[in-house]
C-alpha cells in the first residue's frame, strides 16, 4: 500500500467516524413524551427533540396549548402529536401511556410554586405544591419506567431546579420538592441502571417562563436575579434544549444519576457583590 493509498484509506475511515459521531444526537425512530409541552421549557424540549428526529408527544393539562406546540412542530417539518395529561391523576397518566405506548424518552417539566415564608404556608398550599411537583413526577415514572425496564432501554429526564441546592426566603416547600425529585430519581437511576434505563435531572437557574412572570414584573427583583448569575442575565427556554438533547440521546449514553446544572453560573459564585480588587 502506497503512502497516498494509506492516506486515502485513513480519510475514508475518519469520514465514517465523524459521521458516526454526528449521529450521536440523532433521535430518528424514537418516541419522546414531553409532559408540560404546552409552553416554556416543555415547549422548547418538544421542538428540540423533534428537530433531531424524535416523534414527540406533547402532553399537557392545557390540551389546546399542547396542540399548538404540536402544530408548530409539524409546520417546521417535525413529527408531533398532542394529548391531555394531568400528573395529579394517575388514571390520566395511565391513559396516555395506554394510548401512546411506552416512550423511549420521558421529559417531565411541570411545576408550581407558592411563594410564602414557611410559617405562613397553609397545609393546603403545602399539599398542592408537593402533589404536583414531587408526587406528579413519582406518578409519571411509576407509569413509564416499568415498560422501559422490560424493553431494556430508555431515558428519563426530570426538571428540578437550583433550589434543590440553594434556597431563599419563600422557597421552602418548592425547594423541598425539587430536592426530593433529585434524590428520588437518583435512587431510580440506581435501580434501573442494570436494565439500561438512564435517569437524570436537569437543574435550571432562572428562566423566563410563565412560572417566573411575577418576578419579571418586579424590575428590582428581576435585575437582582439576573445579576446573581455569572452571565448577568436570565435564561430563555430554548437554552434548556442542549441539556435535554444530551441526556435523551446516545451522546449521553454514560450519563445517569446526574444533576445537570444549567444555571448561568448561579451556584458557582458567591453573593451579588463584586469586591474591589
Query: Contact at 8 Å (CB) between 248 and 32?
Result: yes
Q: Is 174 a catalytic residue?
A: yes
Catalytic site residue from 174, 222, 254, 259:
174
Report the alpha-carbon distance of residue 186 to residue 158 in Å, rounded: 11
| pLDDT higher than 90, residue 273 | no
Q: 79: Cβ–Cβ under 8 A, 6 or more apart, which residues? A: 50, 54, 55, 56, 73
Residues 53-66, mean pLDDT to the nearest whole number: 98
Report the alpha-carbon distance of residue 201 to residue 181 in Å, rounded: 8
Residues 233-239, mean pLDDT to the nearest whole number: 95
Domains and CATH numbers, the chain: 28-268 (3.40.50.720)
Report the alpha-carbon distance of residue 34 to residue 87 in Å, rounded: 12
Residues 96-106, mean pLDDT to the nearest whole number: 97
In this prediction, residue 27 carries a pLDDT of 98
pLDDT bin (cut points 50, 70, 90) of residue 10 is low
Q: 124: Cβ–Cβ under 8 A, 6 or more apart, which residues? A: none
pLDDT tens readout for residues 181-235: 999 999 999 999 999 999 999 999 999 988 788 888 899 999 998 999 999 999 9
Nearest to 184 by CA among 108, 115, 95, 104: 108
Cell of 92: 390520566
CA angle 216, 64, 134 (to 5 degrees): 60
In this prediction, residue 11 carries a pLDDT of 55
Output 39 or 14, whichever has higher pLDDT: 39
Query: Contact at 8 Å (CB) between 109 and 133?
Result: no
pTM: 0.91
| pLDDT higher than 90, residue 258 | yes
Order of strands across the sheet that contains 31-35? 79-84, 55-60, 31-35, 105-108, 154-159, 197-204, 259-262
For residues 180-191, one letter each, b for 16 or more C-beta atoms within 10 angstroms of the residue's C-beta and e for the rest, the string is: bbbebbbebbee
- Which range (167-181, 221-235, 251-265) has the least confidence? 221-235
Strand extents, DSSP E, the chain:
31-35, 55-60, 79-84, 105-108, 154-159, 197-204, 259-262
In this prediction, residue 186 carries a pLDDT of 98
Residues 3-12, mean pLDDT to the nearest whole number: 52
In this prediction, residue 3 carries a pLDDT of 54
Residues 41-54, mean pLDDT to the nearest whole number: 98
pLDDT tens readout for residues 121-149: 999 999 999 999 999 999 999 999 999 99
Amino acid at each position: 500500500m502506497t503512502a497516498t493509498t494509506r492516506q486515502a484509506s485513513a480519510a475514508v475511515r475518519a469520514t465514517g467516524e465523524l459521521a458516526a459521531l454526528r449521529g450521536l444526537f440523532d433521535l430518528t425512530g424514537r418516541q419522546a413524551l414531553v409532559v408540560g409541552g404546552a409552553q416554556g421549557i416543555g415547549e422548547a424540549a418538544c421542538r428540540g427533540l423533534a428537530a433531531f428526529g424524535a416523534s414527540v408527544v406533547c402532553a399537557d393539562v392545557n390540551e389546546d396549548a399542547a396542540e399548538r406546540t404540536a402544530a408548530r412542530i409539524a409546520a417546521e417539518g417535525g413529527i408531533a402529536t398532542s394529548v391531555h395529561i394531568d400528573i395529579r391523576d394517575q388514571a390520566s397518566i395511565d391513559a396516555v401511556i395506554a394510548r401512546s405506548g411506552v416512550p423511549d424518552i420521558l421529559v417531565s417539566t411541570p411545576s408550581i410554586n407558592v411563594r410564602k415564608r414557611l410559617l405562613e404556608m397553609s397545609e393546603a398550599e403545602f399539599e398542592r405544591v408537593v402533589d404536583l411537583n414531587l408526587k406528579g413526577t413519582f406518578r409519571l415514572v411509576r407509569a413509564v419506567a416499568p415498560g422501559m425496564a422490560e424493553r431494556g432501554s430508555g431515558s428519563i429526564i426530570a426538571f428540578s431546579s437550583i433550589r434543590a441546592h440553594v434556597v431563599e426566603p419563600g422557597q421552602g416547600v418548592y425547594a423541598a420538592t425539587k430536592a426530593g425529585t433529585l434524590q428520588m430519581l437518583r435512587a431510580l437511576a440506581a435501580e434501573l441502571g442494570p436494565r439500561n434505563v438512564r435517569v437524570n435531572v436537569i437543574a435550571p437557574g432562572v428562566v423566563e417562563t410563565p412560572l417566573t412572570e411575577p418576578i419579571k414584573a418586579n424590575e428590582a427583583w428581576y435585575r437582582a436575579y439576573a445579576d446573581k448569575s455569572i452571565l448577568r442575565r436570565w435564561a430563555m427556554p430554548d437554552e434548556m434544549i442542549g441539556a435535554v438533547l444530551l441526556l435523551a440521546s446516545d451522546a449521553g449514553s454514560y450519563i445517569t444519576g446526574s444533576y445537570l446544572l444549567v444555571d448561568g453560573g448561579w451556584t458557582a459564585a458567591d453573593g451579588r457583590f463584586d469586591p474591589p480588587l
